[in-house]
Structure 1
Amino acid sequence: MLGTDFRTGSPVWLDLGSPDLDRTAAFYGAVFGWQFTSAGPDTGGYGFFQQDGATVAAAGRLTEESADPAWVTYFRTDGIRATVDAVTSAGGAVRVEPITMGEASMAQLTDPQGAEFAVIQSGTGLQRASQDNTLVWVELHVPDPEAALAFYHRLFGWRAAQMSAPGMTYRVLSIADGDQQEGAFGGVAPLQEGQEARWVPYFAVPDADAAAEAVRDNGGTVLMPPSDIPDVGRVAWLTDPAGAVFAVLKPNPRQAAR
Structure 2
Amino acid sequence: MNHDTTPAGPTTGVVSTHTVCGAPCWVSLTSRDLEATEEFYSALLGWEWRSARLGDRFRIALADGAPVAGIAAVASMWQMAVAWTPYFAVPSADRAVSRVQERGGTSAVGPISLPPGRAALLADRDGATFGIWEGELFTDWETWRKAAPAYIRLHTRDAFDAAIFYGEVLDWATERPGCCEVRYEGDEVVLRSHGEVVARIESGALEAAPDPTIRPHWQIHFRVADVAACARTAESHGGSVLREGAQEAVLRDPDGAQFTVTSRREA
What pairs up with 1:96-245 in 2 under 5 angstroms? 96-125=109-138, 128-131=143-146, 134-158=148-172, 159-164=181-186, 169-175=187-193, 182-192=195-205, 194=211, 195-227=214-246, 234-245=247-258
Counterpart contact for 1:12–1:125, Cα < 8 Å: no
Quote the Cα distance in structure 2 between the aligned partners of 1:122 and 1:240: 30
Quote the Cα distance in structure 2 between the aligned partners of 1:9 and 1:126: 17
Counterpart contact for 2:58–2:72, Cα < 8 Å: yes
Quote the Cα distance in structure 2 between the aligned partners of 1:184 and 1:225: 23
Aligned residue-pair number: 234
Unaligned runs of 5+ in 1: 228-233
Quote the Cα distance in structure 2 between the aligned partners of 1:17 and 1:226: 27
Residues 98-119 of structure 1, C-alpha deviation per residue, up to 9 Å, x if partnerless?
Answer: 1111111111111111100000
Return the offset for 1:66: 4.3
Quote the Cα distance in structure 2 between the aligned partners of 1:171 and 1:99: 31
Query: CA RMSD of the aligned region, Å?
Result: 2.2
Return the offset for 1:65: 5.1
The match for 2:55 is 43
Letter of the aligned partner of 1:138 in structure 2?
I
Name the TM-score, length of structure 1 as normaliser.
Answer: 0.83
Residues 45-96 of structure 1, C-alpha deviation per residue, up to 9 Å, x if partnerless?
Answer: 1110112322111100235654221011110000111100000111111110
The match for 1:56 is 68
Distance 1:163 1:244, change over 3 A: same
What pairs up with 1:1-12 in 2 under 5 angstroms? 7-12=20-25
Identity of aligned residues (%): 28
Counterpart contact for 1:208–1:249, Cα < 8 Å: yes
Unaligned runs of 5+ in 2: 1-14, 173-180
Name the TM-score, length of structure 2 as normaliser.
Answer: 0.81
Quote the Cα distance in structure 2 between the aligned partners of 1:82 and 1:44: 32
Distance 1:68 1:61, change over 3 A: same
Q: Which runs of 4+ in 1 moved over 6 A?
A: none
The match for 1:95 is 108
Letter of the aligned partner of 1:74 in structure 2?
Y
SS of residue matched to 1:46? strand
